[in-house]
Structure 1
Amino acid sequence: MLNAQHCREGDWVYLPAHRTYGRIIERTALWGHEIFRVWLPSSDSVVRVRSDEISTQCSTLSTHHLTYLAAAARVADALTQDVLLAPIESSVIPLPHQIRALSRAISNDRVRYLLADEVGLGKTIEAGLIMRELKLRGLVRRTLVIAPKGLVTQWIAEMAMHFNEQFHPIMSEDYKSLKRISAIHSDELRGLRTEYEGNNSGLVAQHSALRAANSNPFRAFDQVVVSMDSVKPPANASGAAWERFEDLISAGWDLVIVDEAHRLGGSTDQVARYKLGQGLAEAAPYLLLLSATPHQGKTDAFHRLISLVDAQAFPDVSSVTKERVQPYVIRTEKRRAIDAEGKPLFKPRRTELAPVSWEDRHRDQRLLYEAVTEYVREGYNQAMREKRSYIGFLMILMQRLVVSSTRAIRTTLERRLEALEAPQEQLTLFPMVSEEDWADLDGQEQMDTLLKTRLKALKNERAEVKLLLEAAKRCESQGPDAKAEALLDWIYRLQAEEGDPDLKVLVFTEFVPTQEMLMRFLTERGFEVVCLNGSMDMEERKRVQDAFAKDARILISTDAGGEGLNLQFCHVVINYDIPWNPMRLEQRIGRVDRIGQTHTVRAINFVFEDSVEHRVREVLEEKLAVIFEEFGIDKTGDVLDSAQAERIFDDLYVEAILNPDVVETKVDEVLKSIQEQAWESRQSASVLGPTEDLDPREAQRLLAHPLPHWVERMTVSYLRAHGGRAERKNGAWDLTWPGSERLTNVVFTNKEAEEKPLSRHVTLEAPKVRGLAMRLPPFAPGQSVPVITLPGLAPEIMGFWSLWRISISTADWNRRRIMPLFLADDGRVFAPTARHIWDQLLTTAPTILQHLDVETSHQAFERLQEAAEQQGKTIYDELVQAHRERLAREREKGEYAFAARRRAIERIGLPQVRNHRLSLLEQEEERFREQLERRAQILPEMAPLLLVRVEGNHG
């Protein structure tokens, strides 16, 4: 190393205060002081130092620093090679299709995709893996999840269980509370602390953060879940709902995930949910839309959905083609899904219709069914004549209630009579509810919505309701319902058939009164029973699920209560009453027919013998099976969305009730419609692309990946080399960072974290740790080269080993790779030996024998630099090719979008308007081309990171 008085511009010098090398870029003298401006490659910064701050002694490389550099470079190389971090660092063991989804998502700079796996394949897990991957790479901090209300709990539970990620629900009432808290002056806040204790204590704790975030409640937490309909924009651009929408969109998200995203497509581009989608699409750079049924033969709705992922790629409906859509869609079909051993992931189901007969003792119950059916038939006809469709909805529900239970129809008749006996002026019209919103409600929610509005009466309705109510009360007093007795028989029968006296059974009903009746009925007969319905909050739902997983034998759930359940430990579902919409039936069975189910799923569907519902269901199931076989589909949901199915099957059952003699004819008409829809759907859904073959070995390879050990070696070695401390205690680390920050009980692998619940699991997500890999100091020419030996090296290995970072950067893009290089003393380059030495440095401590003098070190550097230029050219060419392909995709997408916009403008009739807009478009297109030209300019770089002389082990 040169003495300070001999240093010249361009010389490399060591700065002890900065613990790094730098290059002199300017030397000046002023008033007796000699000042140097020195460029520090490690931080890409320039510092001014005095001559006495430049060391005249050559700095030597310690063993710990050498190990740190080798490990950090290996971690950085793993990141550049698209090694998947999330599966390594999470408690979930991904399946082959989930690994493929993550790999595809991360392979692109713009992580904006439609995850379209079929139901039950774990799209939530895939989204969680992608989120974790982006977080571990330092690309995401703030994540927003939008889900239907019933799935909010599931998201929170699964993110915590599989990824140890805490998400916070902000429902409408939470938003109002947070908004109010954020507006309260800190002096007043102290007086309200008692009010917000308990469930709301976290809201108070967020006060300061909210004030700093301009009173936006969605900034209170970095990871938030909201229900879709609680944040969609209102029709008028004012009021509290609009403020909530604007707060959501402007909260500064990095990643937005939308579950059941097909609901954002809407029936037109004016629907509130589509407007919500547009806002969300622009709210974050990364976007994941999740939907098992994104395309159901309605190309315009699918276009609206896929355009949220990339508006430029899909400027109009004609852009929705297989070739253009496939790069944005990640999809696996159930029949192609395999487990880690390559076996089919799902077992066949066993579904059976269980007719329930009315015995003599149930005579009054049968008469009640017939009387309610007649009431429904007359009431529905009258409602349609008077164009009062909301009364028609009520009649439909009355029919479903009487089939459900005597308790359900009795309770509803009482509520209806109460409304009919109220003063006429208190009766109201049915509020406006969109078709999509109505279809999302389960039977209980639809009934509550109708009865709360106190609908105006039909002719003679009050007298009829009184008679029916008396009959219902009489039936209840006579003993259990026929179906309740049948349920008990089936439970005992299933216990025997399955050979399990403690068999768990999931029972579904549409209505809460039926649920309450069944709970009492079964509890009185010695069963431990728990219930779930849509009125329960998240804590209640969790307690019920936990109880069913442990001691409870039977879970009785409504459809709304069952949303989001994962009950793989149960394999028997009894549908106590069957919803008319077969998609709801599929969703129910899907609660147990999920990944991880080890038994054949059994579904028992109850229906009254000789009822209208029985006749429809018998014909329907038989003929639907033929259609499904013909088109290779599993369920109605493959070709219809929920709103369509709700309307079609409601119409079918209503027609069967009104005209029992034409059941088969009506079923045939419906099936013909479904058949046509299936044909259209199969044709149009082909744009989603086929499922690729899956490799079952990828999961095992990932789980065995040594990345966590590299991170551990990198961190520990860095601390020991740079003034920190790392001490191993009871199988964990106590780490002290330079500057005295201390972390205790630290582990680096997920296995260790699971074995030590109180430990702190450190990953690349920690900014300090990730920075150790991403800000590697370069080797400085003139730096003394250490001579090392390693226990695992053969004596014949003699030469120089080095690491080089090869990168290209453009106006908006940079990519880098790290290349190991071994140059033997005979002048030959050995790539396998270079990788082998790197592997050894990550597992064993090197021994530093000596440091070469400055002149020898400089000569070695020049030889290695020349070899690195030759060997690195291939890597450079690969990086350049990847950049060119990226630009080509951007150019094609942009040109397609401009062409579509030009066609739209050319349809304008007024020449002056048309020409003006064409002129503006040409200017915009010219700017686009100029920008692409600037982005095509490449700046290559090759920087040395580590250089050592290696001498094989002679010991």
Structure 2
Amino acid sequence: MSEVFAVGDWCRHRRHRTPCRIIDRQSLWNETVFRVWLPTKDAIIRARASDLAPLASLEPTENEILHTAAAAKLLDALEDNLLLAPIQSSVVPLPHQLHALNKAMSGERIRYLLADEVGLGKTIEAGLILRELKLRGMVRRVLVLAPKSLVRQWQAEMHLHFGEAFRLIEPAELAALRSFVSSTVPGDRSGSGERDDNLWLMHDQVICSIDSVKPLEGRRGWSLERLATYNRERFEDLVAASWDLVIVDESHRLGGSTEQVARYKLGAALAEAAPYLLLLSATPHQGKTDHFLRLIQLLDREAFPDEGSITRDRVRPFVIRTEKLEAIDAEGQPLFKPRMTRLQAVTWQPRHAAQQRLYESVTDYVRHGYNQAMAAQQRHIGFLMILMQRLVTSSTAAIRATLEKRLEALNRPSPQASLFDELISPDADPEQWAELDGQSQADMAVQTAAQTANWTLDGLAREKVEVEMLLALARETEAAGTDAKAEALLELIYGLQQAESDPALKVLVFTEFVPTQRMLADYLEGRGFTIALLNGSMDLDARTQAQLVFSQDAQILISTDAGGEGLNLQFCHVVVNFDMPWNPMRIEQRIGRVDRIGQQHVVRATNFVLDETVEYRVRQVLEEKLTLIAKEFGVDKAADVMDSVEAEPWFDELFVKGITDPESVDQQCDAVVTQIREKVAESYQGSDLITEEPSAGQRFSAEEARQWRDHPAQFWLERTITTGLPARGGEAVQEGDHWRIRWLDGSESARACFDARTAEARPELEWITLEDARARALIAELPRCVAGQPMPRVRISGLPETVTGIWSLWEISLCADRFSRKRFLPIFVNDDGRAFLPTARRIWDLLLTERLELVEALTPADSLHWEPSLAAATGQGEPHIQALMELHRTRLQAARERACYAFEARDQAIGRIGLPAVRAYRRRRLEQEHKERMATLDAAETSLPDLSAIMMLRVGPGFTSDSGAAGSA
């Protein structure tokens, strides 16, 4: 048998089932050994004579023809930047979200700043990009970092919209996880001889808060060993956990004031360690170029070596941004409905005398207690006073419950310093305290140490007496059973039901505090309303269930701020803020739970505030002036262009000054509004850097966005798998509306489907997408067709019998250093030798949708068949190869410009070094690095085109036909 084959011959490799060419032959110890080239792998392997068979024995089956046609179609679409995420997920993206996904996947490096204005769905855009990368097999391990107040929202939205399960890791869990791992899997878990105790490797998809994992320089009372352990477990191990994709929400908080800030160190380390990076922020440029430089450097430090590199043209390729005015829905209509917000003053009635007396007593206690605490440098007592004021304006139940806890804390014999004391210390990051919701702040503050060096025993005794007096008054007020705002809420709900002629009208009520929530639930249930509750103590399942109950049965959902994180309640359009956080931007976040994409009604928001109080006066003046600022800069609200957490201390100070010095309300409001106006102006000015240029073809229309759910890619995948498995030793059997699949690795999918709608309706079925490595393996390698192998004759239903000739499919590729792209080209040459591109494309489509009949395998494709098809493929493929070469040249040129710009900027910086020896050393090192970089780019200039046939068929009823085929083609 070995005598049949000679060097240069084409033959069939039995195991690989593909043509191969003999390039060498050796006789060694009575054994003939060949070296053969496999075109499908572009690899040279060794083979025995028994591994080879004549080329004529290579006869494709119907399934192999269908598999090749479908797999090539899918690969060609992917090379043409087919977006899989909208097809292979339950999300139907809006046009601007589709634009974001398309731009992200069009780039060579997937490292972007997603900077859409507030409310446009940056989380959805990040989820689409995540899904796209997973479906393409580009990522497996994903880390999401977000402020503490947003981590649950991320977990919920990734699960709801994308079916992605993320493990939310809280700081307290790390010690418990370590103990669990140590007790259950001691010793070497990796098999490498080393102890693998990096807990972040236990989960492939993790969400955690930014501040829970940033490195610490020091902490009061901690030893160096404890500090090192903390940083290793939370920061160093996290960075070393081999994340493929890192997503950072509210990423502007990473910029910091210098590169030494802990959050920046965290961002810089992860940005260097992960190949793919998404930074999300509606307000990335807050008027500080140095801050923005540090942020944008996380994406590409080389492209932005100094502040001079922060220009519009250089920044825009890294930014994806849509403004609200540009955003449309799937019908092409403006995305957001109007909103009606009003401040409702709740007037004290005679029956509320006890509640009014309690409010005035607590306010007086706070006024004097705050001033005394500040004078004694007791910041923790001052913060407690602030919370007392917020609690009494919320409800009698809230202040009563807190006073009880405070009295209990005061009676403890030896109070201990807590995390609260660290969070409000002068050297602490104020954002960490500001990110907590009101209930969490109250729970921490009420337990604060009551006795310190500056807090005398007399002071402690006096506080106990005051707390006991206020507690007695609160209990007396609560026993009276009247709450002015609860009565106003009931009256408001009745009025709205009548105005909208809807007795089942759904109302979302927000409060800061859990005792107020419980009081309202009892009050409204006692009057016949069905109630659902949400607060920060509930896990994801309980929150999801509460949201479901509200959507179906409950008339009223009462939520705390922590409970409201991540809510999407477009089916409700009425919001009542029962109590008001001092920061008005927090109120905007509450209203945003219903004022979301998909809201069909005008949103009605009512903000309750007690009349004839300092809070009401401050709120009136503040809202008027904030409205003027928004109009001046043409934005909906200040929160759209500035960070809520950053502004939190300004509002705390404003309300405290209003309470301690009521006569200065107007003056204090003016001071805060001036700060806000300056901040908004800075952010607004910086937004020009990140605004995308509107260009034709860049944005997607509403119609294009709607078409994605009907894209045939999933059908192509189904055809690829179900026809490709049998020829390779697997199995695919259709059973009703699902498939039973045995994969090439021996695993099975007993009940599988490929259609998104079927998967949504039948959650018990396994939905097969390109994310499955077993599926990707079936499209990874396509066969090769060479002159001399048999050419099948086929009939295709739907193709006129007058269309006869040779149809072939060709792979066009360009290979260069670190660059490889390909396209697929169908060719049809009729019996007169004329090539018709439209007919070629039509036949390819029919192979995917119509019935195929394999009539016979013909004699080998000789030059009579091969040469005309090759000539047509060469001619029609030239524009494709030119486009690939132009893309390669463009990317190389951009890389050269980036390298040269970085070299010049760094060289100038070195020139400013005062020490000549240091300057000379660093310049030599820089020049060597630049020389090596440019040599790499020079090597990439060499690119090689290739053209290979992957399939050749004879279509039509026979070998001969009249010349009418040309006309019909």
Residue 856 of structure 2 is matched in structure 1 by: 850
Residue 451 of structure 1 is matched in structure 2 by: 446
Alignment of 1:656-735 (within 5 A): 656-690=658-692, 692=694, 694-735=700-741
> In 1, are the aligned partners of 2:118 and 2:640 still within 8 Å (CA)?
no
Q: Distance in 2 between matches of 1:503 and 1:20?
A: 67
Residue 803 of structure 1 is matched in structure 2 by: 809
AA in 2 matched with 1:804: W
Confirm whether residue 776 of structure 1 aligns to residue 794 of structure 2. Answer: no
Question: Which blocks of at least 5 consecutive residues in structure 1 are unaligned?
Answer: 190-205
**How many pairs are equivalent?**
935
Residue 870 of structure 2 is matched in structure 1 by: 865
Q: 1:744 to 1:412 in 2, by over 3 A?
A: closer
Residue 12 of structure 1 is matched in structure 2 by: 10
Confirm whether residue 932 of structure 1 aligns to residue 934 of structure 2. Answer: no
Out of 288, 313, 328, which is 1:298 matched to? Answer: 288
Alignment of 1:30-109 (within 5 A): 30-56=28-54, 57-109=56-108
> In 1, are the aligned partners of 2:351 and 2:482 still within 8 Å (CA)?
no
Residue 877 of structure 1 is matched in structure 2 by: 882
Confirm whether residue 148 of structure 1 aligns to residue 147 of structure 2. Answer: yes
1:89 is paired with a residue whose SS is: coil
> In 2, are the aligned partners of 1:63 and 1:845 still within 8 Å (CA)?
no
Out of 641, 644, 664, which is 2:643 matched to? Answer: 641
Alignment of 1:271-286 (within 5 A): 271-286=261-276
Between 415-424 and 231-240, the greater mean CA deviation after superposition: 415-424
> In 1, are the aligned partners of 2:149 and 2:436 still within 8 Å (CA)?
no
AA in 2 matched with 1:354: Q
Instruction: Measure how far apart 1:34 and its partner are.
Output: 3.0
Residue 473 of structure 1 is matched in structure 2 by: 475
Residue 224 of structure 2 is matched in structure 1 by: none
Confirm whether residue 325 of structure 1 aligns to residue 315 of structure 2. Answer: yes
Aligned-pair Cα RMSD in Å: 2.6
Q: Distance in 2 between matches of 1:747 and 1:424?
A: 64
Instruction: Measure how far apart 1:75 and its partner are.
Output: 0.8
Residue 212 of structure 2 is matched in structure 1 by: 230
> In 2, are the aligned partners of 1:794 and 1:952 still within 8 Å (CA)?
no
Instruction: Measure how far apart 1:628 and its partner are.
Output: 0.7
> In 1, are the aligned partners of 2:570 and 2:597 still within 8 Å (CA)?
yes
Q: 1:53 to 1:650 in 2, by over 3 A?
A: closer
Q: 1:869 to 1:338 in 2, by over 3 A?
A: same
Q: 1:19 to 1:313 in 2, by over 3 A?
A: same
Q: Distance in 2 between matches of 1:425 and 1:153?
A: 32
Instruction: Measure how far apart 1:714 and its partner are.
Output: 1.5
> In 2, are the aligned partners of 1:430 and 1:455 still within 8 Å (CA)?
no
Instruction: Measure how far apart 1:790 and its partner are.
Output: 1.9
Instruction: Measure how far apart 1:835 and its partner are.
Output: 0.7
AA in 2 matched with 1:10: G
**What's the CA shift string for 1:375-398, capped at 9, x where partnerless?**
222223333333333333222222
Out of 804, 813, 824, which is 2:819 matched to? Answer: 813
Instruction: Measure how far apart 1:69 and its partner are.
Output: 1.0
Q: Distance in 2 between matches of 1:158 and 1:240?
A: 30
Confirm whether residue 542 of structure 1 aligns to residue 532 of structure 2. Answer: no
* Paired-residue identity, %: 51
**What's the CA shift string for 1:87-128, capped at 9, x where partnerless?**
111111111111111101110121111112223322222111
Q: Distance in 2 between matches of 1:442 and 1:50?
A: 72
> In 2, are the aligned partners of 1:181 and 1:207 still within 8 Å (CA)?
no
**What's the CA shift string for 1:210-265, capped at 9, x where partnerless?**
99992322222222222322222222560134323222211111111222222222
Q: Distance in 1 between matches of 2:478 and 2:744?
A: 76
1:573 is paired with a residue whose SS is: strand
Q: Distance in 1 between matches of 2:509 and 2:475?
A: 25
Question: Which blocks of at least 5 consecutive residues in structure 2 are unaligned?
Answer: 219-226
Residue 220 of structure 1 is matched in structure 2 by: 202
Q: Distance in 2 between matches of 1:105 and 1:174?
A: 34
Residue 200 of structure 1 is matched in structure 2 by: none
1:240 is paired with a residue whose SS is: helix
Residue 385 of structure 1 is matched in structure 2 by: 375
> In 2, are the aligned partners of 1:182 and 1:211 still within 8 Å (CA)?
no
Residue 955 of structure 2 is matched in structure 1 by: 950
Residue 760 of structure 2 is matched in structure 1 by: 754
Residue 201 of structure 1 is matched in structure 2 by: none
Q: 1:490 to 1:124 in 2, by over 3 A?
A: same
**What's the CA shift string for 1:333-379, capped at 9, x where partnerless?**
22321111101111011111111000111123222222222222222
Residue 195 of structure 1 is matched in structure 2 by: none
> In 1, are the aligned partners of 2:157 and 2:566 still within 8 Å (CA)?
no
Out of 483, 487, 490, which is 2:489 matched to? Answer: 487
> In 1, are the aligned partners of 2:629 and 2:638 still within 8 Å (CA)?
no
> In 2, are the aligned partners of 1:735 and 1:746 still within 8 Å (CA)?
yes
AA in 1 matched with 2:204: D
Residue 199 of structure 1 is matched in structure 2 by: none
**What's the CA shift string for 1:445-497, capped at 9, x where partnerless?**
22222222224458544443333333323222222221111111112112222
Alignment of 1:775-794 (within 5 A): 775-794=781-800
> In 1, are the aligned partners of 2:156 and 2:566 still within 8 Å (CA)?
no
Q: Distance in 2 between matches of 1:298 and 1:392?
A: 32
Instruction: Measure how far apart 1:732 and its partner are.
Output: 1.5
Q: Distance in 2 between matches of 1:30 and 1:358?
A: 106
2:273 is paired with a residue whose SS is: coil
**What's the CA shift string for 1:577-606, capped at 9, x where partnerless?**
111111100111111111222221111100
> In 2, are the aligned partners of 1:182 and 1:207 still within 8 Å (CA)?
no
AA in 2 matched with 1:26: D
Q: Distance in 1 between matches of 2:743 and 2:464?
A: 79
AA in 1 matched with 2:68: L
Q: Distance in 2 between matches of 1:824 and 1:308?
A: 56
Instruction: Measure how far apart 1:825 and its partner are.
Output: 3.2
> In 2, are the aligned partners of 1:784 and 1:857 still within 8 Å (CA)?
no
Give TM-score scaled by structure 2 length. 0.92
AA in 2 matched with 1:9: V
AA in 2 matched with 1:99: L
Give TM-score scaled by structure 1 length. 0.93
Confirm whether residue 914 of structure 1 aligns to residue 919 of structure 2. Answer: yes
Instruction: Measure how far apart 1:721 and its partner are.
Output: 3.4
> In 1, are the aligned partners of 2:510 and 2:590 still within 8 Å (CA)?
yes
**What's the CA shift string for 1:766-815, capped at 9, x where partnerless?**
22221222211221332111222322223442322211111112221211
Between 95-104 and 229-238, the greater mean CA deviation after superposition: 229-238
Q: 1:861 to 1:213 in 2, by over 3 A?
A: farther
Instruction: Measure how far apart 1:845 and its partner are.
Output: 2.8
1:64 is paired with a residue whose SS is: helix
Q: Distance in 1 between matches of 2:745 and 2:214?
A: 48
Between 773-782 and 264-273, the greater mean CA deviation after superposition: 264-273
Q: Distance in 1 between matches of 2:886 and 2:15?
A: 42
Q: 1:370 to 1:264 in 2, by over 3 A?
A: same
Instruction: Measure how far apart 1:691 and its partner are.
Output: 7.3
Alignment of 1:249-268 (within 5 A): 249-268=239-258
Residue 135 of structure 2 is matched in structure 1 by: 136
AA in 2 matched with 1:63: E
Alignment of 1:817-856 (within 5 A): 817-854=823-860, 856=861
Out of 296, 300, 306, which is 1:316 matched to? Answer: 306
Q: Distance in 1 between matches of 2:217 and 2:236?
A: 14
> In 2, are the aligned partners of 1:439 and 1:642 still within 8 Å (CA)?
no
Residue 357 of structure 1 is matched in structure 2 by: 347
Q: Distance in 2 between matches of 1:55 and 1:644?
A: 74
> In 1, are the aligned partners of 2:794 and 2:854 still within 8 Å (CA)?
yes
Alignment of 1:244-643 (within 5 A): 244-422=234-412, 430-431=421-422, 432=425, 433-456=428-451, 457=455, 459=459, 460-643=462-645
Instruction: Measure how far apart 1:283 and its partner are.
Output: 2.7
> In 2, are the aligned partners of 1:209 and 1:220 still within 8 Å (CA)?
no
> In 2, are the aligned partners of 1:150 and 1:564 still within 8 Å (CA)?
no
